[in-house]
Each structure stands twice: as C-alpha cells, then as structure tokens.
Amino acid sequence: MLFRPVQERDLSDIIDLAARAGIGLTSLPYNVSYLKTKINNSIASFSGNLPRSQQRFLFVLEDLLIKRVVGVSAIEAAVGLDEPFYNFRIQRIVRASRQLNVYKNIELLTLNYDQTGHSELCTLFLDPRYQKNRNGLLLSKARFLFIAAHPHIFSSHIFAEMRGIIDNQGRSPFWDALGYHFFDIPFAEADKLTGIGMKTFIAELMPLYPIYVSLLPILAQQAIGKVHPHTVPARSILEKEGFSWNGTIDIFDAGPVLEAETNMIRTIRDSQIVTVNKIYNILNSINIPCISIVSNDRFKDFSAILLKTEDNKSMIKLNDIQRKYLRVNENDKIRVITLYP
C-alpha cells in the first residue's frame, strides 16, 4: 500500500470511491467535473503555483498489487480566506430566578468563523473492503508526516469536521429540525451544493441570531456533536493524536469539529528523521513487534508506506521495492513514526 499525492490518472478510481462514500462526506461529492477540478487543484498545489488560500493537497492510497486507488485523504492549507467558513459554536449561559427558585443552564448555537485561516484535514475515505491491516491509520496519519516535513505551509492550529448523524435515506435530524426551515431544500441537496463549491446560499440564508438548543426536537439535540457510525474509527484516530472537541459543530449535520495545536499532534511531535541505512537504530530501541509509517521528506514526490517490525529487529531495513516507491537511496533522509499495537 502506497500513500502518495493524487495524479490525473486516478480520476476514475476516485469517482468510484465518491460513489461508495454516499451522502454527508461533503468534500468528496459524486460529481465528475468537480472531482476533476479537485485533482487539478491538488496537482497545482504540489507544483507551488497557487496562493496559500487555494492550496488543497489531495492524497491517495494505492494498492500496488492491482494498481488501484482505494482511499483518499486531504489537507487544506488555510480555510475561509477567499470565502467565509461557517460553523456553529455551542455557547452556554445561565438564567436564574430567585422568586421561582429556578436555575437554568441554557445552550445556544451561534454562527462563527473561528476556523478562518486554519488548516483543515478533510476528504478521508477508505474503500470498506480495505478497512483492515492498518490501512486507515496510514491513510489518516501519513498526512501528519507531510505537515511535519513542510510546516511553513500550514497553520499552527488544525481542525477536522467529522461527518454527523445521517440515516440510510440521507436525512439528517439536525438539518430537518433547523437548516431546512431556512433553506427549504433537503439535506442531500444542501450537502451536494456545498460539496461542489456553491456556498453563497449559506451566507444569504443562514440564521444570524443564536438558536436555543432546547427548542429543537430531541433527535436533533441528540445529534449534536455525534459522528456517523462509519466515522467512529476516523474520530478515534484523531483523538489518539491529540485532537479534541471544543464545542464547535458543522452547520448542516451537527458533526463535531475536532481541533489540535499542530506542534502537539503526536505524529508530528514524535516523528524522527534518520538516513535510510540507519533506520534500524530507531526500530531496535523498541522492545516489541510494531508497525511504523515511513515517509520521504519530499514535497511534490511525497510518499509513505507501512513498515512491519518483527522480533528480529536487527535485520530491519528498507528493501529495494520500498526504497523505489519512497524514492530514496541508502543515504537519503526519511521520516519515521511508530504505531504501537
């Protein structure tokens, strides 16, 4: 399995992945024209031809045995600089009456732009048939090695919007209770429009005043801050990296927005740089079999793989095929992060 930047030839595979992803994964819509533009934008970003506000880096996970892309993930360098980036933040206030002896904690949803200028992790999707053998970890975590290699591109704060609660018919209880009354379109349509970049309607129709959570139906309240069942593993990966939920949610499906300080993300903080012929120096210090992600430190030709270490760690080294796909020689620098069992 090889983690690498997207290429033009990956389009048909990515279209297939978008069809599998379904409703709610806003940044991977089933729209051929948009996906082609997304790929071209990423290629331009890796070529250094775009301003930071337009840099969007799309990566793929390729099964080298069958030469097929089976997963995608992405990073946006900075959101909200060219157009507003909206979220709801949960605000808590206290109201009390001595006369009635009533003390109430009240939650409000307020529209905010707090993530403006921050980097975003997005577009994470892995073919369900490949959700094994730590492929999901490679697809998600390898992005952090890219950030660690090129920190000047990204902000000091990173976030990720998690897909919220949506039923099998593509309906969101939060959207039906709130958004639908302002936009008058189904959740699937709003998600589709946002996914292909048509976001002007949000600014035109979004409620500008705080929303009292207690006035929403119970199913909508219960959806706030919850993730789609298929998104639980992705949330777990990020939380183990040091991400946390601080009360910000997606304006459509109320999925949580996880946040972290970039230099405190485990993979970024703990990754080590070593020459290819010295990788065993790192792995020999580990007393149990484990899995490591190994990457080069290149920009346009960035790539990463999983490396399994057995009990006989003194023999660990990159073989010819692994060096080929990492585009490194014996004396080149590589970056390593260990994933413990």
| Neighbour tally for 13: CB within 10 Å | 20
DSSP 175: I
From residue 73, alpha-carbon distances to 6, 25, 99 in Å are 10, 12, 56
| Neighbour tally for 341: CB within 10 Å | 6
SS3 string, 50-78, reads CCHHHCEEEEEEEECCCCEEEEEEEEECC
Question: Is residue 157 flagged as an active site residue?
Answer: no
Residue of 150, 157, 228, 230 marked active site: 228
Which H or E run includes 187?
helix 187-195
| Neighbour tally for 19: CB within 10 Å | 10
First to last CA, the chain: 19
Strands (E), the chain: 2-5, 56-63, 68-76, 87-97, 102-112, 119-126, 157-161, 211-212, 244-249, 256-261, 272-275, 290-295, 304-309, 333-339
Query: What residue type is assigned to position 205 of the chain?
Result: L
Strands (E), 214-282: 244-249, 256-261, 272-275
Query: Which positions are catalytic?
Result: 228
